[in-house]
Amino acid sequence: MENVTAPFRSFALVSRERIARNYRRIREVVGPGVEVAGVVKADAYGHGAAEVSSILEAEGAHWLAVSSVEEGVTLRQAGVRARILVMAGFLPYEGEAVVEHELTPALQSLAAVAEMDRLARRAGKPLPYHLKIDSGMGRMGAREGAGEVAAAVCGAAHARLEGLMSHLASAADFASPQTAEQIARFDHLCRALAEAGIAPPYRHTASTNAVAYGRENAWHNMVRAGLGIYGYVPAARGAAPPRMLTVEPALAWKARIIAVKDLPEGAPVGYGATFRAPRPMRMAIVAAGYADGVFHSLGNRGSVIAAGQTTPIVGSVCMDVIAIDISHTTALGPGDEVTLLGEEGGVKLDAEDLARATGTISYDILCRIGRRVARVYA
């Protein structure tokens, strides 16, 4: 992707091949007996949900996962035909859209099971759902025991339980017992429900971390792969086993220089004069700011790649632009590109690097790339 360009001030290059290859690698790790649901919520972590969904469908994905009914409807309107799991369930006013667009909600409570049953009765057909179990994350999901879950499921004569699921809070943390405890609770509930005659076709608790670090007892017969599809696996903590999954970042972010100027020693740069030139320097103004997803906290501490070299951001990050020190080159001028995220001339700057610089996580970096940054697929 390094040599691909586009006629935009700021644009994200997304590699279709890397998306597809990362998905294939996840499938290879878990094997043919485990379904891989591609997580495309939050506009596919900033990569473009409709485009990524079409790539995954072409790779044979039977399931995609989103957060909301609205996201699911958007995919259906874009022509997506795969099953769509709505992981945050549905609100009462969204029921008709669930039916019309054939979405499969992940219900968060036993009360929601009763609501799903009423919806199915009104629709005049059985509607599938997955039930989320709070196995110890303390966020969403039913906390009741097997008896109460069984009663709710069996009491829903019109809705059909298709899957049991949970979410692991610390799958990459091997210094904590939380993941083992969550898996044990989930498996205990599944066994108890099976004894009561309730054995839905899908069980799933694992996302990218549990796949990448080989927590096979969390895979069951479906995994929900998100960040790994986009080329990242967070670092593990504690005595982690060797990583089983190798993926490559699928997105590179470029922006163009809109002005270049020479500054004398002592010249202030930007709001608040938080930077003063320590020497005569050449400065470029780049068409990307915090409205585009460049973290404000990167002022005077972040960097980009310009002319194949890591180049510091100087002064405050503005809404629409950043200033960078390009004293190392005279080759760059207005209209030329710099790399905010990606690789240029053998130098790399990825979402993990930016996350460390800003004190956040790679998910945050990718999801914050703004809408006015054009997405270009290659």
Average confidence (pLDDT) over 67-87: 98
pLDDT per position as a tens digit, 203-251: 999 999 999 999 999 999 999 999 999 999 999 999 999 999 999 999 9
Q: Do domains 33-230 and 251-377 have the same CATH topology?
A: no
- Of 213, 232, 261, 271, the active-site residue reads 271
- Kindly tell me if the per-residue pLDDT of 45 is higher than 70: yes
Average confidence (pLDDT) over 15-27: 98
- Of 41, 202, 230, 254, the active-site residue reads 41
Cα separation, 106 vs 108, in Å, equals 6
The pLDDT confidence band at residue 1, using thresholds 50, 70 and 90, is low
- Kindly tell me if the per-residue pLDDT of 35 is higher than 80: yes
- Kindly tell me if the per-residue pLDDT of 338 is higher than 80: yes
For the domain covering 251-377, report its CATH number.
Answer: 2.40.37.10
Q: Residue holding tokens 């002005």?
A: 259
| H-state helical runs in the chain | 16-30, 41-45, 49-58, 69-77, 95-100, 110-123, 146-155, 178-195, 208-212, 351-358, 362-367
Amino acid type, 285: I
Average confidence (pLDDT) over 191-204: 97
Cα separation, 207 vs 378, in Å, equals 27
pTM: 0.95
Average confidence (pLDDT) over 237-266: 97
Q: Is 271 noted as a catalytic residue in this protein?
A: yes
- Kindly tell me if the per-residue pLDDT of 3 is higher than 80: no
Q: Where are the domains of the chain?
A: 33-230, 251-377
The pLDDT confidence band at residue 69, using thresholds 50, 70 and 90, is very high
pLDDT per position as a tens digit, 267-322: 999 999 999 999 999 999 999 999 999 999 999 999 999 999 999 999 999 999 99
pLDDT of residue 5: 84
Q: Is 41 noted as a catalytic residue in this protein?
A: yes
Amino acid type, 34: V
pLDDT of residue 4: 78
- Summary mean pLDDT of the chain: 97
pLDDT of residue 2: 63
Percent of the chain with pLDDT over 90: 98
pLDDT per position as a tens digit, 364-374: 999 999 999 99
Name the architecture of domain 33-230: Alpha-Beta Barrel (3.20)
